[in-house]
Amino acid sequence: MARPLRLHVPGALFHVISRGNAKQVIFVGSQDYEHFLALLARVTVRFSVHCNAYCLMPNHFHLMLAPTALPLSRMMQQLNSAYGQWFNRRHGRVGHVLQGRFKAMLVDRDTYFLQLLRYIVLNPVRAGAVDQPAAWPWSSYRAMAGMVAPSFLTLDWAWQQFDPSDRHRAQRRFVAFVAAADNDFKPTDSLVAGAKAFSAELAPQMEQHRSDPDIVYKEKHASRPGLEQVLCTSEDQVRQDAAVREAFEVHGYTLGEIGAFLNRHPSTIWRHIQRAPRDSRQASTGRFRVHRIKI
């Protein structure tokens, strides 16, 4: 089974999700929630990870985390393992509590942070557990709104997005921002969430994993340019063949994906690739060109 790609980017934001095995409940009562938060406080300090937001739901949880020197996976492995063992002892159960590997999506601070922050704290409202996010005690909403202040939360950067000079005004604006949600926002299922420039910055780290067959396909190609950037119309057959080959061999697009974009059968796309010069990047210049990521 392919494994998810884990990138270590010190200071970057990650949206982390873990779910109960077979969708089972992982928090039965208040003691479970409290113990998990105590563990979270402990491991964030031990591994020097900043926690910007969280929401614990009966069968899953969301975290917004920023690692420093150590890879995030080390913290998450200890958190999930310690909680799973404790949960089984407390409830007289055996087997896995959490479902496989956790998800970790890189988040663009400039274009995605605030929407994701709101999405996380609105989870219990969307699930019908409460009418207002303040009524759910197991999220960071109350802390962001200035009602409580868990020691492990890093809130200053988030408050500065609403008002850099007045914390109380920032808290009021955060409350208004959450209340104004249109419910249309959905978190990405991709490894990278943000603008194209943000993805381009990560391209060098992604490149080394492109040839690894054990990494989930959509994740190792998360920072590649879109086909609309790689391919455009041209009457020059050489350039056309070269760009198609580049899309296939360098950026990992399938024959079906390229064919659907160009409205051609996959067998036709394969003929383009077979005709293309071996060094397609030298041939693919002009209007029908391969996108170059500049860092």
pLDDT in tens, 163-206: 999 999 999 999 999 998 876 667 666 656 554 555 555 555 55
Q: What was the pLDDT predicted at 122?
A: 94
- 62 and 159 belong to one structural domain: yes
pLDDT at 209: 41
| Residue 83 in domain | yes
Q: What is the pLDDT of residues 193-245, one digit of tens each?
A: 554 555 555 555 555 445 444 334 444 444 456 677 677 655 677 887 888 88
pTM exceeds 0.75: no
Distances (CA, A) of 52 to 133, 159, 173, 189: 17, 10, 17, 20
Asked if residue 192 is part of any domain, the answer here is: no
Q: Do 27 and 118 sit in the same domain of this protein?
A: yes
Mean pLDDT of 96-120: 83
Last-in-domain residue among 154, 179, 204? 179
| Both structure tokens of 24 | 């089972």
Residue 229 lies in a domain: yes
Among the listed ranges 108-117, 143-152, 163-172, 230-239, which one has the minimum average pLDDT value?
230-239
pLDDT at position 71: 83
- Of 121, 154, 179, which closes a domain? 179
5 falls within a domain:
no
Residues in the chain: 295
Work out how many domains the chain is built from and give that number. 2
Those residues whose C-beta lies under 8 Å from the C-beta of residue 62, and which sit 6 or more positions away, are 15, 16, 17, 53, 54, 55, 120, 123
Answer whether residue 292 is part of any domain. Answer: yes
CA torsion, ordered 102, 105, 106, 112, to nearest 10 deg: -140
Residue 86, pLDDT score:
95
Residues 169 and 228 placed together within one structural domain of the fold? no
Q: How confident is the model at residue 270 (pLDDT cuts 50, 70, 90)?
A: confident
Residue 246, domain extent: 224-295
Q: What per-residue confidence (pLDDT) applies to 88?
A: 93
pLDDT of residue 134: 94
Chain-wide mean pLDDT for the chain?
78
Tell me how far apart the alpha carbons of residues 84 and 80 are, in angstroms, rounded to a whole number: 6
Mean pLDDT of 147-163: 86
Residue 215: inside a domain: no
- In this structure, which amino acid lies at residue 183? N
The answer to whether residues 172 and 228 belong to one domain is no
Instruction: Please identify, among 146, 179, 212, the residue that sits at the C-terminal boundary of a domain.
Output: 179
Q: Looking at the domain assignment, is residue 2 inside a domain?
A: no
One domain, residues 19 and 158: yes
Q: Smallest Cα–Cα separation from 14: which of 152, 151, 130, 109?
A: 109
161 lies in a domain?
Answer: yes
Q: Are residues 165 and 261 in the same domain?
A: no
